[in-house]
Structure 1
Amino acid sequence: MPPRVHLKRVESDGDWAAYHRIRKRVLWEDRGLGGYDERHPDDRLAGIIHYSLCAMVRQRGLPDWTLPVRASALSGS
């Protein structure tokens, strides 16, 4: 069965809230870091598009597709 993946562009206030909630917890708090800035100017740079990834994946071996990623945060919840 191929992976089922859905990329959703982060656009609405609710999308941004979920995006920052995951990044803050996984990339900062879970690593003992503080000072996460939800209003960091890099988030709004031209040419930078933010997506949330919803995936149901069961893969044996390596996938035959690649996706360039600058930063990622995965949440088990």
Structure 2
Amino acid sequence: MGKGIIGFIGVTGLVITLVAAGYVARGPLTGGTLPPRLHLIGAGAWFVVGLITFAWGMKKFTASADRPEPDRGRLRMYKR
């Protein structure tokens, strides 16, 4: 269940990033003007938040939870 939640967080970050980028690019791509400056700052902030959320979620989603087994022959045993 943990992987599903982490994957959902990563996908949510991707959606936030795409919506913020689409908001800024919508004006010039459709022949309109850019949004007001305050809206651009807000969209930029949401873009950064979305990128961070996406990167964190995908990093956690793709990380392996399996710990490597140590090579028992190379471990030193210390006795007191």
Regarding TM over 0.5, the answer is no
Larger radius of gyration: 2
